[in-house]
Structure 1
């Protein structure tokens, strides 16, 4: 069910539950979409790449961007649809955002404001939502995909087996380009080095495995790291916490979110 957040239709909210493995087919919206994972992990895929959205985090999708969504675990999705004319101008591309406690409360509060006479209150809450979204920290959970056929062959092969540790020189022999040419193409087309892209891939692969309960050591070995320590160092460098701390913090936030949602009764209607 669509839950309107104010009468002019500039912002609306949807709450849906999905089973593990569910897939939302390719589609697009006229509005911007703030896609929030109250529980479970989602993967957003567009022609430009893929984004991993851990529980209690969100992804921003600009208007008109065709996308599909894959669910990992039991997913509780909460979405804000925001009219293009009021969407934050700084958010002009898909990105994963670290949702603040204040924003989570504001979303819940906005849904509670169903009284048609609460126009001023509703407008203030919506304004705060937009300001808070614009100020959220971006997280390095984007995996861009190239158009160049040589880079694409490398990236698709690594997506199939992210643990591979072949060098750029090795890949060059396979795709028919020098390592220097490939390095230049990675920087030009993807804005990062080959090693950075591979680390990004391994990070996005690690999150669903860690959240499913796999040990840090097992995930590290499966993704091609010689030790759990090396994997944890990479994880901390990109996300600011080691894997155990990060997963524990997400669990605490998810528990808090569940408690707050339950206190709201039927304000969120599941579909």
Structure 2
């Protein structure tokens, strides 16, 4: 199994490899000279940037632009494939985004992972790489992520909720936790994230729920764990967000 540290400095402009990490592993904050595409084959990853938090269950990928500071946390044992793309081939531009992986894109990633790191950018390999980058560009984004504030006090609140999305403590508690008056907390939180605390927390809960359901956990267990009083209330929320019930989402 190839790891990023094993890759040569003079590698081809687009290279891929497969890696594996245990539950609880944290890849500390860092950035790459190249764009990075990480695709979860099994397990669940959390990817944090300076501005947002993303969750990667199986069959979902994240595009991380060059020089973007990020951290990866393995929520469970994870097997994933990584592609490093020279900035000249960064068709995605500057945006960090998450998207579902089509069967064709999955096959292309797997094929590129078999290439030698010094292949020529012509012939069969180059054609496959170009097709892969075109497919990445056309994959629709999954619109579920949580914006993170730059204010350290608000960031501390958000990190606590991300660590335990089922926490039901109210806005008064979190304002006090941040060391801010309730009105100041409410105004500042909306200015920094574009939404109120209740909406932001609901977004975090649906991220958590979708990732755990996709990883095969019981819908009822997940519903209670993320703070809902009943599976029916959770199902209604999930359907409003994804346009499908949790069971239908899992099958898809």
Q: Same fold (TM over 0.5)?
A: yes
Q: What is aligned with 1:145?
A: 148
Number of the residue aligned with 1:106 = 108
Q: C-alpha separation between the residues in 2 aligned to 1:117 and 1:32?
A: 20
RMSD: 2.9
Q: Is the 8 A contact 1:24 1:70 kept in 2?
A: yes
Task: Calculate the TM-score normalised by the size of structure 1.
Answer: 0.77
Question: What is the DSSP-based 3-state SS (H/G/I as helix, E as strand, rest coil) of the residue aligned with 2:91?
Answer: coil
Task: Summarize the Cα distance change of 1:69–1:118 in structure 2 as closer, same or farther, 3 Å threshold.
Answer: closer
Query: Are 1:177 and 2:169 an aligned pair?
Result: no
Q: How big is the shift at 1:228?
A: 0.9
Q: How does 1:195-210 map to 2 (within 5 A)?
A: 195-210=198-213
User: 1:243: which partner in 2?
Assistant: 246
Q: Do 1:72 and 1:208's aligned partners in 2 also have CA atoms closer than 8 Å?
A: no
Pairwise mapping of residues 220-235 of structure 1 onto structure 2 (< 5 A)?
220-235=223-238
Q: CA deviation at 1:178?
A: 4.0
1:94 aligns with 2:100: no
Runs of 4+ aligned structure 1 residues displaced above 6 Å come to none
Counterpart-to-counterpart distance in 2, 1:194 and 1:137: 27
For 1:258, the equivalent position in structure 2 comes to: none
Paired residues, number:
245
Contact 1:38 1:75 survives alignment (8 Å)? yes
The alpha carbon displacement at 1:80 in A equals 0.7
Contact 2:120–2:126 (Cα < 8 Å) also in 1? no
Deviation, 1:164, is 3.6
Partner Cα distance (2:83, 2:89) in 1: 13
Q: What does residue 43 of structure 1 align with?
A: 46
- Which TM-score applies when normalising by structure 2? 0.82
CA contact (8 A) 2:44 2:215 kept: no
